[in-house]
Amino acid sequence: MTPFNDSFRAATAHVTTLVCVLFGLFHLYTAGWGSLGAMDQRVVHITFVLVLVFLNKPIRTGVEGAWRLLDVLLALAALAVGGYLYLYSEDIAFRLGIASTADLAAGAGLVLMLLEATRRVLGWPLPFIAGIAILYGFFGDKLPGILTHSGFGVDRLISHLSLTTEGIFTVPLGVSATVVVIFIIFATFLNATGAGQYFIDLVMSYFGRSRGAPAKAAVVGSAMMGTLNGSVIANVMGTGAFTIPLMKRSGYRSVVAGAVEACTSTGGQIMPPIMGAAAFIIAEFLRVPYLEVIKAAIIPAVLFYVALFIYVHLEAARSGLKGLPEDEIREYRERRRGKHYQLIPLFALVAMMAFLNWSPTRSAFFAILITLAIGFIRKNGRLTFTRLIDMFRQAGMTMLEVVTACATAGIIIGILSLTGFGLQLSSILTGLAGGNLMILLVLTMIVSLVLGMGLTTTACYVILAVLVAPALIKMGIDPMAAHLFVFYYGMYSFITPPVSLGAFAAAGISGSSPMATGYMAWKIALPGFILPFMFISFPAMLMKGSWPQILHVTTTGLAGVFFLSTAIVGYLRRDLNLLERGAMIAAGVLLIHGGVVTDVIGIVLGGVTALNCYLRTPHTSDKTDTLAAMVPADAPRSRSDT
């Protein structure tokens, strides 16, 4: 390594830190004292991100020397383009779409730099799709049949994509620039002050004695952290680095340990109260309060994690795994003792949104202030100025994936709105379904899973919300249910082979085969794959309806996921035979399908099968029954236990 490369890296690190601090302070200021105009806010937002990408993501791994100087030039070019669009935004708007040569040069530069930045951060899939969309805008007049449109010139495309709020600067980037960024800062600060470790310690101290405790800690801990960071890969690498080795040490097979973490990290994006970035975009698309999205997501998220919890418990029971040693549990208990204040910012955030009716941005801003106050006031592990700078740097780097995805998805949205192809695709899907809702749902599921492979959940949802969700709404489906349907299956692509990126990341930690881990994760999450069909048929699962209806669908849903998870494991106090597994699957499907008759049949079929397993299987000392194994480690023991 040459002295030049050493000096360059050091200089880049210092500049990156400065940019991240300015990035964070800008968004804290606009969150606390009011954002700029829509275009100005979004321009500053994406300019910060482009500069950070070019400074920290080389054109390819391992390049040095002159190539890194090119990256500096690109960062300066991004700063120049962003500065131009910010300074002349009023003039550009005043010209009413008649762009000058300088406008077009800045717009073209923005589009090209955004595509390159997205490639560096997210790989080829999303820029490739955006590139195809741009070519479609140019050459659509030469295509046959329903694909054809009048065609658009270079000036019109550049203006539409980069000089208005209809392309790059449309809804996803707007939400990213005002809401998502402030929540990512909050999540980063909360985790950096010890909340992530506290979540794990809390779960392990309560469930440590039960069999499969590390897997249960992964389920609960990843749900808590996944809802904050909204990134499957980041969640896998963060909590998985701790939970996967612990699961393996307790007796879980490598492939199961990796698959469990992949499932729980993926599900974090549907877990309220934050749900990552996509939840805010759903609220913006539907023009509903953010709390409406949270309310709708609660029951499906709980059912998803109940299914995972049942799976890891029964898998541990089948393998004869034990709980953690008492001294290890005591260590977790001692480490989290007196740290309940870690949860104050999270509870305050929910209270401000739910009871004070504050906006998500304002609520997150004050939750950040509470987090910082706790960090500086507490005696042990008190925040320092250096740590605060590092937190800003981490938050800024975390934003790269979300912002590039939202902005590049805006290119696709802009082309679809300009050409009208989005409406045509909805008509195509509806026509292929022949008016049959179930066929349309299956087609939508397939499209969502395929399109989600290789994309971030946010980018996938944005594209599906424009392309596919309108077809479901046209068939009479509730808009919230339609958007959550495509969001769920876009998310499930992270654990669906052959391109299950969440499972691949987990396999890198567990040491198992990536494809085997992907298949195992898909199998474990199967009950969750059925949930979107359930809330399409029964909106009460999305808190739409009377309380008796909501209670009914929740109860039957819990029973359904229990029977399905039991069938997937193939164990309930003993190994199930083929007939018993078939009965459990049938019972689960009948209960998830809903309806009084099917519910009664499902309860009877699943209940009789489960009862038969319990009554005809002798209790053994090495296989604790389900209820006993679920007793928290902090629960008082009876005299006989001692």
* Mean pLDDT for the stretch of residues 487-507: 87
Give the residue from 353, 363, 448, 462 showing the smallest Cα distance to 403.
462
Q: How many contiguous H segments (helices) and E segments (strands) does the chain have?
A: 31, 0
Q: What pLDDT is recorded for position 96?
A: 65
Range in 407-411, 437-441, 543-547, 628-632 with the lowest mean pLDDT:
628-632
Q: Is the pLDDT reported for residue 5 higher than 60? A: yes
SS3 per residue for 381-403: CCCCHHHHHHHHHHHHHHHHHHH
Comparison of pLDDT for 36 and 622, the residue scoring more:
36
Looking at per-residue pLDDT, the higher value among 617 and 641 belongs to: 617
Instruction: Report the candidate in 530, 445, 449, 442 with the shortest Cα–Cα distance to residue 493.
Output: 449
pLDDT (tens digit, 9 = 90+) per residue, 83-96? 999 999 988 888 76
Residue bearing tokens 């959550």: 484
The amino acid at 203: V
Q: Is residue 271 within 8 Å of residue 301, measured between CB atoms?
A: yes
With a cut of 90, say whether residue 162 has pLDDT above it: yes
pLDDT higher than 80, residue 624: no
Specify the pLDDT at position 618.
Answer: 66
Report the predicted TM-score, pTM, of the whole model to 2 decimal places: 0.83
Residue given tokens 């249960």 in the structure block: 216
Please tell me whether residue 526 adopts helix, strand or coil conformation: helix
Percent of the chain with pLDDT over 70: 93
pLDDT of residue 594: 62
pLDDT class for 156, splitting at 50, 70, 90?
very high
What is the mean pLDDT of the segment spanning 435-440?
86
Q: How far is CA 63 from the centre of its chain?
A: 32
What's the pLDDT score for residue 80?
97
- DSSP H or E segment with residue 546: none
Reported confidence tier of residue 215, pLDDT bands at 50, 70, 90 = confident
Q: What is the pLDDT of residue 203?
A: 77
> Has residue 430 got a pLDDT over 60?
yes
Residue 65 has pLDDT above 50, yes or no: yes
Long-range pairs of 549-557 with CB within 8 A, sequence gap ≥ 24: 550/299, 553/299, 553/594, 554/299, 554/303, 556/591, 556/592, 556/594, 556/599, 556/602, 556/603, 557/299, 557/303, 557/531, 557/591, 557/592
Neighbours of 72 (CB within 10 A): 15
Cis peptide before 539 (omega within 30 of 0): no
Torsion sign across C-alpha atoms 83, 85, 86, 92:
positive
Provide the pLDDT confidence category of residue 220 given band limits of 50, 70 and 90.
Answer: confident
In this predicted structure, the answer to whether residue 378 has a pLDDT above a threshold of 80 is no
Give backbone dihedrals phi and psi of 571, rounded to 5 degrees, phi first: -150, 135
For residue 619, the model assigns a pLDDT of 59
The terminus-to-terminus CA distance of the chain in angstroms comes to 62
Query: Do 22 and 48 form a contact (C-beta atoms < 8 A)?
Result: yes
- pLDDT, residue 635, reads 44
Rounded Cα gap, residues 263 and 524, in angstroms: 8
State how far the Cα of 252 lies from the Cα of 315, in Å rounded to an integer: 8
Please count the CA atoms within 13 angstroms of the CA of 221 that sit on its side-chain side: 33
Q: Is 103 helix (H, G, I), strand (E, B) or coil?
A: helix
Residue range 288-333, pLDDT digits in tens: 988 899 899 999 999 999 999 999 999 988 888 877 788 888 888 8
The per-residue pLDDT for 191 is: 82
Q: Is the distance from CB of 458 to CB of 179 less than 8 angstroms? A: no
Q: Is the pLDDT of residue 271 over 70?
A: yes
Q: Secondary structure of 470-506 in the HEC alphabet?
A: HHHHHCCCCHHHHHHHHHHHHHHHHHCCCCCHHHHHH
Question: Higher confidence at residue 96 or residue 427?
Answer: 427
Q: Mean pLDDT throughout 132-140?
A: 93
**Contact between 297 and 275 (Cβ < 8 Å):** yes
Structural domain boundaries of the chain? 3-169, 175-543, 545-618
List helix spans (H) across 251-384.
254-267, 278-286, 290-318, 326-336, 344-354, 360-377
Using alpha carbons, select from 233, 242, 163 the residue that is nearest to residue 198. Answer: 242
Mean pLDDT computed over every residue of the chain: 86
Contacts of 131 (CB under 8 A, 6+ apart): 115
Q: Is the pLDDT of residue 639 over 50?
A: no
Round to whole Å and give the CA distance between 572 and 589. 18
- Between residues 337 and 152, the one the model is more confident about: 152
pLDDT at 229: 61
Nearest to 534 by CA among 481, 487, 580, 574: 481
pLDDT at residue 465 greater than cutoff 60: yes
| Cβ partners under 8 Å of residue 163, min gap 6 | 85, 92, 97, 99, 103, 107
Question: In angstroms, rounded to a whole number, what is the distance separating the alpha carbons of residues 167 and 449?
Answer: 25
- Placement of tokens 């090119």 in the chain: 70
| Tokens 């779409």 sit on residue | 97
pLDDT exceeds cutoff 80 at 197 = no
Written as six digits, the tokens of 570 are 């193939």
Distances (CA, A) of 179 to 34, 271, 347, 359, 363: 12, 17, 18, 9, 10
Question: Look-up: residue for tokens 């020397």?
Answer: 65
Helix/strand/coil for 380 = coil
Radius of gyration of the chain (CA): 26
Q: Which of 56-70, 259-273, 475-489, 612-626 has the highest mean pLDDT?
A: 475-489
Paired tokens of 248? 């393996």
Residue pair 501/233 in contact by the 8 Å Cβ criterion: yes
Task: Read off the pLDDT band of 336 (50, 70, 90).
Answer: confident
Return the number of other C-beta atoms located less than 10 Å from residue 418's C-beta.
21
575 has which bridge partners?
A: 571
Residues 11-38: tens digit of each pLDDT: 999 999 999 999 999 999 999 988 789 9
pLDDT (average), residues 228-235: 71
Answer yes or no: is pLDDT of 455 > 80.
no
- Reduced to 3 DSSP states, what percent helix, strand and coil does the chain have, rounded to the nearest 5? 80, 0, 20
Summarised one tens digit per residue, pLDDT across range 104-115 is 999 999 999 999
Cβ density class 387-409: b for 16+ within 10 Å, e for less: ebeebbbbbbbbbbbbbbbbbbb
pLDDT digits (tens, 9 = 90+) for 343-374: 899 889 888 988 888 888 999 999 999 999 98
Distance CA 174, CA 181 (A): 10
pLDDT tens for each residue of 549-579: 999 999 999 999 999 999 999 999 889 999 9
Neighbours of 86 (CB within 10 A): 16
pLDDT at 481: 94
The encoded tokens of residue 547 equal 């309380």
Map residue 349 onto helix, strand or coil: helix
**For residues 461 and 459, what is the distance between their CA atoms, to the nearest angstrom?**
6
